Structures are given as C-alpha cells and as structure tokens.
C-alpha cells in the first residue's frame, strides 16, 4: 500500500454511507487496544465556528509548549490536514502504515459479522491511533456531524467540551428544529464533565442546560457582554475579555468577521476551565497564540489587488455571517460572487443572505459527488431571484467551469471585490488552484 492506495481505500469506504452510532467505533477500537481511553481531549461540536475555535486553542496551547494533536474535518487542500500535531500534518508514510493497520483490524471485524466502518469512522480511528502513538499531551477533537452519535463521541471523557454556534444544517440527520439539533450537539456533554457554550439563543441554552443538569455537568455559558469589540480592519481585529478569573484588555486576532470575537471569548472561557484543572496557560501564550492563529477558507483574504475572499459559507448561519462581514469591511460595495454548493444544503436560505450583496453571481461545481451542478444552481438562482417575489437588484447570473475562473479574474476590474463562497470543497479546490497559479506571489 502506498499513499495513493491508502487514500483510495479510505475514500472508497464512502459507499458504506453515513451511519450515526458508536457500535462500529467501539468494536473497531477494541481490536486496536482502545487508544481513545489513554488520551486527554478537548471535544468541540457545533454548526459553525468549530474550526476557528480549534485553530485558536491549538495555537495557544502550542505556544505554551504543549504537544497538541488536532483532528479536523473536512480538509481544504490536502487530506493530511485532518490529522496534525503541533501544526504539522501527519506524514504520508505514517498515514499509509496506520491505514494498513486499521484495514487489518476491519478484516477481523468483518470476520466476526460486524458492519464495515464508514469513511469518517476509519479516519477518526487513524487519528486516535496516531495521537496515542505520538504521545501528545492533549487532543483537540472536532466533531464530524452532530455530536451524540458522531464517531468522535467514542471518547469516554474530555477535559472540556465546547459547543460553538448552533444553527440548522444537516437536518436530515440532526432534526428539523434548532432544539433538535441542539440535542444532538449537546450529546458530547460527559457525565460530571465541563461544558463551555458559545453565546446562543435562549431556546438553545435551555436544551443544553437540561442536558448538563441531567449529566451533572458544569455548564459555562459565554456572555456576549464579556467580549467587547475594540477595532478592526481587513488586516485583523481586536477585542477585550472579562471572565471569571481572566481579564484581557486587548486580544488581537487575524480572523475576520465579528462572530470571530465570540469564538475567541468561547476559547478564553475554555482556558479558564483548563486552568482550574491545573493546566499552565499564561496570558502571554494566550495573546501570542491568538495573534498567530490562522484558519484558511473562513473570510480569508488571499489577494489585495483585486481583493479576493475565500469563505466557506455553506449553511444559512454561515451565509448570514458572511453577509455581515462584507457589509462591515466593504460597506459601499457589491461583490462578484463565485458560488457552489452541495445538494444537501438549504440553498434558498443561503441565497437570502448572499444575493443582496452580489453584483454578479458565477456558479461553479464543487469537486464532490454530492455537488449541485453549476448550471442547475444558476437556474435555481434565477428562479429564486424572480422579481415578482425576491428581487434583490439586477443581478447577472451565469455558470462556468473551474478551469475558466482565473482567466476571468484577470479581466475583472481591480476595484471590484471578488469572493468564492459556499462549499468548503469548492473553497479548497480554488485555494489549491490559486497557490499553484502564481497569482498569490
């Protein structure tokens, strides 16, 4: 098995679909010696913001000197991004070795009559084995989907569980109401554990409070009043934080969008919890970690002439945040929007937020089997933008192939604002193409 073989083996298991539940993980990890029982975790669930919170925490803890494992999904440019230690991706040889080991364990599993694990279960298992073998101090573990029945929830306990902003997404799996989704996200709360909750609407808070009470867990809710925006430009922004045992008058971050300061506040509340447990995390490491933290593809400006933004606004909540950020940083501008989505996304709700800020929409097809074909998406946008119902301006809509994108960008007026928005699979593909095009030099 080489690297290509390993990736083919992993990706081919997507034919086994998506099975929410922990039986597969329990049986597979049993064969492999249960590495999850020998690691310390920060477990992160939520609809939006999981990645930013993970990036902030990862940077801060590395800056303090800890050896930190990071498990994320999806990846943008390279599969190995999903499993990292101190910012270094798992190397390809290690990925091949561990994939082979997990494949052998799956053969044992199948011989006993159990179901074949899914792709995400296999990747999660590889990550857990790698972090255990590499003896990391702690693991930042990002949930794949939901929380309660997600493969990552096989961990028996966590140092702290974090729930980021909750909205409607993946409703076919998680429920059609915000309360039902909150129940699934709240499933990562452990018995007598500690849970930090991003500022949420009252009905979400009530759901999480009920789960925490049932599990006798300590719930820490981040109050919006504890986080105050100070100033911001397209280079970054700053905020102050006043917590129970931590006060920081000036925290600087590179990540853009007002929602990021509340992600920052959520991280700081989690750090307060970790400090109570005896972890050394100095104010200096906190401030330096925040300054250094990067999270590609989330309102990321990759060019200033013209301004080109990458933003994975792939659900209504993300699209709303994207809308707010555009209005904040470029209040007088309407943008040229390159847009692509997967079939299972609520396209109409997303369009409500992105069409009002668009001058032109160019639809693309993300590199994923579940993608909406660009031409179909363009027709959907034209129907949605029927001026008898939802007319948001005289917006030009067309579709094109990915290969046509950069020649078109070269012809766009440098004063225009260009954004690639929607599916993270699309954002990753564009980012990879951009880096190889030489346009970023």
Same domain, 81 and 57: yes
Same domain, 268 and 317: no
Number of domains comprising the chain: 2
Last residue of one domain, picked from the residues 264, 292, 320: 292
Same domain, 41 and 150: yes
Q: Which domain holds residue 411?
A: 300-437
Same domain, 305 and 257: no
Q: Would you state the pLDDT for residue 159?
A: 98
Low-confidence ranges of the chain (pLDDT < 50): 441
Under a CB-based contact definition with an 8 Å cutoff, are residues 262 and 19 in contact? no
Last residue of one domain, picked from the residues 269, 292, 315: 292
Same domain, 31 and 137: yes
Can you tell me the distance from the alpha carbon of 389 to that of 372, in angstroms, rounded to the nearest whole number? 23
Same domain, 287 and 304: no
Q: Would you state the pLDDT for residue 441?
A: 40
Q: Would you state the pLDDT for residue 170?
A: 55
Can you tell me the distance from the alpha carbon of 389 to that of 285, in angstroms, rounded to the nearest whole number? 52
Sheet with 218-221, side-by-side order of all strands? 88-89, 83-85, 68-71, 138-142, 41-45, 160-163, 194-197, 218-221
User: Tens digit of pLDDT for each residue in 386-396?
Assistant: 655 555 557 88
- Region of 135 please: left (phi>0), alpha (psi -120 to 50) or beta: left
User: Tens digit of pLDDT for each residue in 201-251?
Assistant: 999 999 999 999 999 999 999 999 999 999 999 999 999 999 999 999 999
CATH number of residue 350's parent domain: 3.90.190.20
Same domain, 209 and 63: yes
Q: Would you state the pLDDT for residue 419?
A: 95
Under a CB-based contact definition with an 8 Å cutoff, are residues 41 and 33 in contact? no
Can you tell me the distance from the alpha carbon of 212 to that of 221, in angstroms, rounded to the nearest whole number? 12
CATH number of residue 60's parent domain: 3.40.1190.10
The pLDDT mean for the chain works out to 91
Q: Would you state the pLDDT for residue 332?
A: 83
């Amino acid at each position: 098995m080489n690297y290509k073989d390993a990736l083919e083996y992993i990706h081919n298991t997507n034919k086994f679909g998506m099975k929410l539940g922990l039986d597969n993980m329990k049986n597979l990890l049993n064969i492999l010696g249960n590495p999850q029982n020998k690691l310390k975790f920060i477990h992160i669930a939520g609809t939006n913001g999981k990645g930013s919170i993970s990036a902030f925490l990862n940077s801060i803890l590395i800056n303090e000197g800890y050896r930190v494992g990071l498990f994320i999904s999806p990846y943008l440019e390279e599969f190995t991004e999903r499993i990292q230690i101190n910012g270094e991706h798992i190397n390809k040889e290690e990925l091949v070795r561990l994939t082979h080991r997990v494949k052998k364990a799956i053969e044992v599993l199948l011989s006993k009559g159990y179901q074949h694990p899914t792709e995400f279960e296999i990747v999660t298992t590889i990550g857990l084995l790698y972090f255990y073998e590499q003896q990391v101090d702690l693991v930042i573990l990002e949930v794949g989907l939901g929380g309660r029945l997600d493969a990552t929830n096989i961990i028996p306990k966590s140092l702290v569980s974090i729930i980021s902003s909750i909205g409607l997404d993946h409703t076919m799996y998680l429920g059609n109401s915000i309360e039902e989704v909150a129940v699934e996200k709240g499933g990562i709360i452990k018995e007598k554990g500690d849970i930090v909750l991003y500022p949420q609407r009252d009905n979400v808070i009530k759901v999480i409070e009920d789960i925490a009470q049932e599990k006798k867990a300590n719930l820490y809710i981040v109050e919006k009043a504890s986080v105050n925006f100070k100033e911001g430009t397209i280079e970054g922004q700053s905020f102050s934080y006043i917590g129970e045992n931590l006060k920081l008058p000036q925290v600087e971050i590179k990540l853009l969008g007002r929602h990021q300061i509340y992600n920052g506040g959520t991280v700081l509340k989690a750090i307060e919890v970790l400090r109570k447990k005896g972890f050394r995390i100095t104010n200096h490491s906190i401030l330096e970690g925040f300054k250094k933290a990067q999270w590609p593809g989330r309102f990321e400006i990759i060019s200033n002439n013209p301004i080109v933004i990458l933003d994975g606004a792939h659900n209504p909540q993300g699209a709303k945040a994207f809308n707010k950020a555009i209005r904040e940083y470029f209040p007088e501008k309407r943008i040229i929007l390159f847009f692509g989505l997967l079939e299972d996304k609520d396209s109409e709700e997303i369009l409500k937020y992105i069409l009002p800020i668009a001058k032109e929409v160019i639809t693309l097809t993300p590199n994923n089997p579940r993608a909406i074909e660009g031409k179909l998406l363009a027709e959907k946008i034209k129907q949605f933008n029927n001026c008898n119902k939802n007319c948001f301006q005289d917006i030009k809509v067309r579709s094109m192939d990915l290969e046509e994108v950069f020649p078109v960008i070269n012809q766009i007026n440098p004063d225009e604002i260009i954004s690639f928005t929607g599916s993270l699979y699309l954002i990753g593909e564009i980012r990879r193409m951009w880096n190889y095009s030489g346009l970023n030099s």
